[in-house]
Amino acid sequence: MTPTRLRTWCTTICCAVTLTIQSVTVQAETVYQESYVYGGHVSPQEGCKLAEQAIKREAVAQQCGSLMRGGAVRFKSESVDDLFRLHFETTGGRVTQFDSRVIHPAEAVVETNTLLFRCTVEAKVSVQCDQGQRDPAFIPTPESQVKLNETAFREGETMQLSIQMPADLPGLAYASVVQLLPYLEEEQRVWRLYPNPYQPSQALHANDQITLPNAAYSLETSLPKGRKSVEEVLMVVFSRKPISFPETMTIEQFHRVLAELPLNERREMVLAYRIDAATAKSIRP
């Protein structure tokens, strides 16, 4: 959907969570080369920028390792019983230094009949991997602390997210909620839902509960123009201290902010869901 609509205020995780565990901090500098093939609707500058992003992702994955995460959502209607799976790669590090040079900004691709170009970029990349291990006592089962009211929505329906802190929570905790819209063409694909102006961040104790939205606003699902169905993701991040996520972010920016906290000070939960056009007659099991 377009960014989730808050009626009096509008702001909405490649889906990614930093989950790879590293026992020590690793920082390495390596030279990478990457090409990106683009069509005539993309400028050479944008094509080269996408090649640079691919280098950064590859550098972090090679230096720090990666995991595959995903979620499954079932949608039933009178005419279809559809099970979709959303998969994404997760990494555990961030780029600390990036020096690049463009080798070929607009090399014509002659292997196909379509007008395509290739930008090739070489870059010297320094990567820092996350330090530490998960604290098994801090939100050990996040899937039992978070509940989304549906996994298959019709356009215009209200989304509701409930967060229940465990009874044995040691000390204080904070929660952040972000939304990933993987189908957006622009880079700003991550939107912060909580905290927001109507629900500021607050320290949470054992058994505390948060429900999004509250009475001051609503979260209504919507579809981008021309789309009959989309898949989206919510991510709940529990932390021992507040995290200052921007209102909108790129995937890289999200990882950079998240990586500032060691693994033993945070825990993440991913919720995938689907939105279909309001004309669909859904039969939810």
Tens digit of each residue's pLDDT, the chain (285 residues): 444 434 333 333 232 222 222 323 344 567 888 888 888 788 888 888 888 888 887 887 777 765 555 555 555 555 555 555 555 555 567 778 888 888 888 888 876 677 888 899 998 888 877 667 888 899 998 989 999 999 889 999 999 999 999 999 989 999 999 998 877 766 778 899 999 999 998 899 999 999 999 999 999 999 988 888 888 889 999 999 998 899 998 877 887 788 778 888 999 998 889 999 987 554 444
Residues of the chain by 3-state class (helix, strand, coil), percent to 5: 10, 45, 45
What lies within 8 Å, CB to CB, of 111 at 6+ separation is none
CB neighbours of residue 23 within 10 Å: 10
Contact at 8 Å (CB) between 15 and 233? yes
Question: Tokens representing 278?
Answer: 């309001």
How many Cα atoms occupy the beta-carbon half-sphere of 41 within 13 Å?
2
Contact at 8 Å (CB) between 83 and 72? yes
Place of tokens 């990494």: 91
Query: What pLDDT, on a 0 to 100 scale, did the predictor assign at position 219?
Result: 94
Query: What pLDDT, on a 0 to 100 scale, did the predictor assign at position 257?
Result: 82
What is the distance, to the nearest Å, from the Cα of residue 26 to the centroid of all Cα atoms in its chain?
24
Query: What pLDDT, on a 0 to 100 scale, did the predictor assign at position 113?
Result: 72
Query: What pLDDT, on a 0 to 100 scale, did the predictor assign at position 138?
Result: 93
Contact at 8 Å (CB) between 142 and 131? no
Query: What pLDDT, on a 0 to 100 scale, did the predictor assign at position 221?
Result: 93
